[in-house]
Amino acid sequence: MYVSLREAGTSDVPFMQQRLYEATIPESIPEEYRPKFEAAMRVDWVARYIDEWGREEDTAQIIEVDGEPAGAAWYRHYEPHEMHQLQRVVSFPLPPHEIAMGLAKPWRGRGLGTSLLDGLVKVAAAENITQLCLSVSTENPAAQRLYRRIGFVPIGAGFKSEVMLWETT
C-alpha cells in the first residue's frame, strides 16, 4: 500500500464535497432519514466549507492510497462575520481559519486521518498560520481523538458538537 499526500485542486471539489457530506451527517442517523447529498450541500453551514472553492487562501490536502483519493482535509480563511456558526459557542474571537476533513469509510481507522491532518497543519505552519479551529460532532469520538492527537484542544461546546483549537508551538 503506497500512501501519499498532495495539494488539492479545483478538480478535487466533488471528492471533497462527498467527504464533507459523510463528515457532517452522523452515522447514527438511519439511511432513510439522512438528507440527500444535493440537499445537504445547499445547507448554509455545510456549503460554506466548499462553495466557491479556490479562493486565495483556500488550502487543501488529498491523501491517496495507491494513487486513488482516500480522504481530504482543508481550511478556509473566513472574515469575522463569516464565523457565526462557531462563534456562537465561545466567548472570544476565533482564528479566521477553519478546518473541514473527511476520509472515505474503507480507509478509516488505519492512520490515514492522522497523516492527512498532520500534513495539513504542517502546511498551515509553513504559511505562517498560527491557529486553526474546527467543530466536531460529539457523536464522533474517533474524530475527537484524532484532533486531540494532532494537538487540538477543546475550547467550547455547542449542540452535539465541540469546538477545538490548534496553535503552533
Local confidence band at 48 (pLDDT 50, 70, 90 cut-offs): confident
* Higher pLDDT pick, 159 / 149: 149
Q: Where are the alpha helices (DSSP H) in 3-79?
A: 13-24, 37-40, 44-47
What mean pLDDT do residues 60-74 have?
97
Mean pLDDT of 148-163: 88
Cα distances (angstroms) measured from residue 26 to each of 29, 64, 107, 138, 155: 6, 24, 17, 10, 22
3-class DSSP assignment, residue 126? helix
The predicted model gives 101-118 an average pLDDT of: 94
The pLDDT, as a whole number, for residue 39 is: 85
Asked if pLDDT for residue 4 goes beyond 60, the answer is: yes
Report field, pTM of the whole predicted structure over 0.85? yes
Over its C-alpha atoms, the chain yields an Rg (Å, rounded) of: 15
pLDDT in the model for residue 124: 95
Query: What are the angstrom distances between the C-alpha of 62 and each of 10, 20, 33, 121, 159?
Result: 12, 13, 30, 13, 29
Neighbours of 59 (CB within 10 A): 20
Q: Which residue has the higher pLDDT, 88 or 136?
A: 136
73-98 core/surface letters (b: 16 or more CB in 10 A; e: else): bbbbebeeeebebbbebbeeebbbbb
Strand pairing partners for 158? 161
Q: What is the predicted pLDDT for the residue at 83?
A: 62
pLDDT at 90: 67
What number is the average pLDDT over the span 20-42?
A: 85
158 versus 130: which is more confidently predicted? 130
- Please give the residue that has the higher pLDDT: either 74 or 160: 74
| Neighbour-count burial of 7, counting CB atoms closer than 10 A to its CB (0-12 exposed, 13-18 middle, 19+ buried) | exposed
Please check the confidence at residue 86 and state whether its pLDDT lies above 70.
Answer: no
Helix (H) or strand (E) holding 26: none
pLDDT of 52 reads 85
Average pLDDT on 29-57 reads: 85
